Chains A and B, each alone.
Chain A
Amino acid sequence: MVAIEVEGLRKTFKKGKVVAVDGVSLTIEKGELFGLLGPNGAGKTTLIKCLSTLLIPDGGRIRIFGHDVLKESLKVRRLIGLVTGGERTLYWKLSVFDNLRYFAALYGLYGRKARRRIEEMIEVMDLVEKRDERVERLSTGMRQKVALARALLHDPELLLLDEPTLGLDPQFSRVIRRFIKEELQKKLKKTILLTTHYMEEADELCDRIGFMSQGKIAACATPEELKEKIPHERLLEIKMAGLPDESLIRNIPGVEDVLMIVDNNRTVLRIQSPDPEGILATVLERLRKECRIIGFGLTTPTLEDVFIFLTGEELR
């Protein structure tokens, strides 16, 4: 059964000057965990907002479990659990319980049934101790758990998670990721569409990934299939201190593409070549003039390499 069906979706802002989503077509099956991966501004959030009836598209059609989002928006909203980015999507002055109680009422849950469901969600999300705490006193990660609990209250078929781990510390991100994969997908059999700009997240979680770049879906396949798009099985990776001149490497014969990741004063170069061992000496020689080499070796391509290879854009 098809959960999400998007056909030729187009959404522009500022009287057509800014094209956020440019003719996207997409089909997601029931039970699938689909990831939209792309840098900020690629159009991921706009797409999610169109799916959740918060935005009216300029063109194209969206069906959620066969229901048109524009014509049957109330039905569609009942099927969706939405977690949008940003911390302020809860009432900070209300307790965890009061927040959930309010949203339960909006989703048609009341009385004993609502109470039971809220307590269940509080337990599932490991929030029992924070039940009566005001949201303003919780950490960012805790707030994200409350937001997830809220999205699950009405037991929706489809979850739209917009950057669910944005701004969380690594430990909390892991907890949330595990919950999404193990609990939501495997145990509860939910259909999940999540957006992210962390490639590890997409790689680890998703059955299929759509690369989004400048409003378009550049590629859509399983992580393994995507990685196979890079012609070589091995990449040359070099770690160094300092910032090298990328063009020095690019014009070495045999180098096909270079990915440069800079973090503080550390740089990692990932070089594509049909013969990585063969070019190693030349590369090191050129780099040594500018930087201090920390280490080098051969690795397999990651999704980020594929993304850059396919879109020419970097993820961050």
Chain B
Amino acid sequence: MIRHYLTAINAENIKEWKIEMSYLPDFIRSFIEPIVYVLPFVLYGIALVGGRNSPNLARLVGSGDIITYVVLGYIVMGFLNTACWGMGWSLRKEQWYGTIETIFAAPVPRWVYIAGMATHSTLHQGGMIGIQVIVIHLLFRIFFHTSGILPSLLLIGLMLIALYGMGMMVAALALIFKEGWIVSEILHSIISVVTPIAYPLSVLPVFLREIAKFMPTTYGVLGIRHFLMGERVFFTIPEAVFKLLLFGFVWVGFGITIFLLIDRKVRRDGTLGHY
């Protein structure tokens, strides 16, 4: 049974790679885009302080290297794309292909597809981030403590649990909303605004600061910058681990619930194959 499901997850992942590679220009673009996307944020920082060192940032967080600071923030946020787009759009894509009914008629539980798309999307995003880091490093040089890499990966892993929960919710919502991209855009925009991607929590107005404390991405971004460049954070690491596990639990539960409800709804209304 387990072997069957693992094979199915792997098959889902491989299938997605193959389909993506068949649209070669898009595939290549997916690796270049994150670099183009993050550059304005870096250049804006440089324009603001007239170099790469900000005394004010150093005073706030303990390190003034704005380039590393911004890049690390946006790298972590890249995984938000996994939830909002990669995973969130996978079932919708099957609707477009026309294959969704055929795959849903196969004898595997729905969570197997979700796990398959999560795997693929995380690997793809990981690859994009890898290339992003290399290029930005070649352009500007990023400085970080190598000893922080392992604990950072652990935090990213924990943060991903909650993001997968979100991804499940988006994947299900995209099945029933004609303009499903709006759901992804809104979720992405809101989380991007309240997560301290390129600034510490202390510059946010009080109410946003409180909302930010409920975002898994907040602990991801700040925790990783803490490990990699010594950012002072408002929580202890065990606290961050606990919070990420808690958010993960809540979001996955929520995602599964929404997913099952919508799955039931489309099977009642007969709209599964529609798009």
Q: Mark A residues whose CB is within 8 Å of B.
A: 11, 13, 20, 46, 49, 52-56, 74-75, 77-78, 80, 82, 84, 86-94, 98, 101-108, 110, 134, 150
CB–CB A54/B7 < 8 A: no
Q: When chains A and B are docked, how far (Å) is the Cα of A169 from the Cα of B185?
A: 45
Please give the distance in Å from B143's CB to the nearest CB on chain A: 42
Beyond A53-B105, A84-B101, 12 extra complex contacts between A and B, CB < 8 Å: A55-B268, A56-B267, A82-B105, A86-B98, A91-B15, A93-B22, A94-B19, A98-B15, A103-B106, A105-B8, A106-B108, A110-B4
Contact yes or no, A110 B7, CB < 8 A:
yes
A54-B272, A98-B18, A102-B11 given as contacts; is B107 within 8 A of A77 (CB)?
Answer: yes
Indicate the member of A11, A53, A102, A103 with the most B CB atoms within 10 Å. Answer: A102
CB atoms of A80 and B105 under 8 A apart = yes
The answer to whether A91 and B99 have CB atoms under 8 Å apart is yes
**Cα distance A11–B8 in the bound complex, in angstroms:** 32
Q: How far is the CA of A20 from the CA of B268 in the complex (A)?
A: 12
Interface residues on B, range: 20 to 34
- Quick check: A89 and B15 within 8 Å, CB to CB? no
Q: What residues on A are CB-neighbors of B272 within 8 Å?
A: 54
Please, which residues of chain B bring their CB within 8 A of the CB of A101? 11
Q: Complex formed: what's the CA distance from A94 to B18 in Å?
A: 7
Contact A13 B270 (CB under 8 A): yes
* Interchain Cβ contacts under 8 Å between A and B, 26 examples: A13-B270, A54-B104, A56-B268, A75-B107, A77-B105, A77-B107, A82-B102, A84-B101, A88-B97, A88-B98, A88-B99, A91-B15, A92-B97, A93-B18, A94-B22, A98-B18, A101-B11, A104-B11, A106-B8, A106-B106, A106-B107, A108-B4, A108-B8, A108-B108, A110-B3, A110-B4
Q: A13-B269, A55-B270, A93-B22 are in contact. Are A102 and B98 (CB under 8 A)?
A: no
Q: How far is the CA of A101 from the CA of B12 in the complex (A)?
A: 10
Q: Which 8 A-B pairs have the closest CB atoms?
A: A88-B98, A105-B11, A106-B106, A77-B107, A93-B22, A78-B107, A108-B4, A110-B7
Given A13-B270, A89-B101, A77-B106 contact (CB < 8 Å): yes
Q: Which residues of B are interface residues toward A (Cβ below 8 A)?
A: 3-4, 7-8, 10-12, 14-15, 18-19, 22-23, 97-99, 101-109, 264, 267-270, 272
Look across to chain A and name the residue whose beta carbon is closest to the beta carbon of B11: A105
Which A residues are in CB contact (< 8 Å) with B3?
110
Q: Report the minimal beta-carbon distance from B161 to chain A, rounded to whole angstroms.
A: 25
Q: Which residue of chain A has the shortest Cβ distance to B3 in the bound complex?
A: A110
How far apart are the CA atoms of A90 and B98 in the complex, in Å?
Answer: 7
Query: What B residues does A105 contact at CB under 8 A?
Result: 7-8, 10-12
B138 to chain A, nearest CB (A): 33
CB pair B264–A56 under 8 Å, yes or no, is yes
Chain A residues with CB under 8 Å of B102's CB are 82, 84, 89-90, 103, 150
Given contacts A46-B270, A55-B270, contact A107 B106 (CB under 8 A): yes
A106 x B11 contact (CB < 8 A): yes
Complex: chain B residue closest to A83, CB-CB: B102
CA A105 to CA B108, docked complex, whole Å: 10
Q: What are the residues of chain B within 8 A of A82 when measuring CB–CB?
A: 102, 105
C-alpha gap A110/B16 in the complex (Å): 18
What's the least CB distance linking B128 to chain A, in Å?
A: 21
Residues of B within 8 A of A98 (CB): 15, 18
Q: B272 to nearest A CB, angstroms? A: 6
With a cutoff of 8 Å between Cβ atoms, the chain A residues found around residue B7 in the complex are 105, 108, 110
Q: How far, in whole Å, are A89 and B22 apart by their CA atoms in the complex?
A: 18
B273 to chain A, nearest CB (A): 8
Bound-state CA distance A103–B102 (Å) is 9
**Complex Cα gap A54–B11 (Å):** 22
Chain B, residue nearest A92 (CB): B97
A104 CA to B107 CA in the complex, in Å?
A: 11
Q: Within 8 Å CB of A106, what residues of B?
A: 8, 11, 103, 106-108
Partner of A94, one of B15, B103, B104: B15
CB neighbours of B19 from chain A (8 A): 91, 93-94
Alpha-carbon distance A91/B21, docked complex (angstroms): 13
Q: In this complex, what residue of B is CB-closest to A46?
A: B270
A80: chain B residues within 8 A (beta carbon): 105
Chain A nearest CB, measured from B224 CB (Å): 35
Residue of B nearest to A81 (CB): B105
Q: Which residues of B contact A90 (CB under 8 A)?
A: 99, 102
> Which A residues lie within 8 Å of B18 (CB)?
93-94, 98
A108 to B23, CA, bound (A): 29
Chain A residue with Cβ nearest B23: A93
Residues of A within 8 A of B109 (CB): 74
| From B106, B264, B267, residue with most partner A Cβ within 10 Å | B106
**B105-A54 in contact (CB<8A):** yes
- How far does the alpha carbon of A204 sit from the alpha carbon of B108 in the complex, in Å? 36
A300 to B29, CA, bound (A): 65
- For the complex formed, measure the closest distance between the CB of B16 and the CB atoms of chain A, giving whole angstroms: 10
Distance between B165 CB and nearest chain A CB, rounded to angstroms: 23
Residue on A nearest B15 in the bound complex, by CB: A102
* Inter-chain contacts of A77 with B (CB < 8 A): 105-107
How distant is the Cα of A86 from the Cα of B7 in the complex, in angstroms?
28
Closest to A49 in B: B270
Chain B residue with minimal CB distance to A105? B11
CA distance A75 to B270 in the complex (A): 22
Name the B residues within 8 Å of A107 (CB-CB).
106-107
- Bound state CA distance, A134 and B10, in angstroms? 21
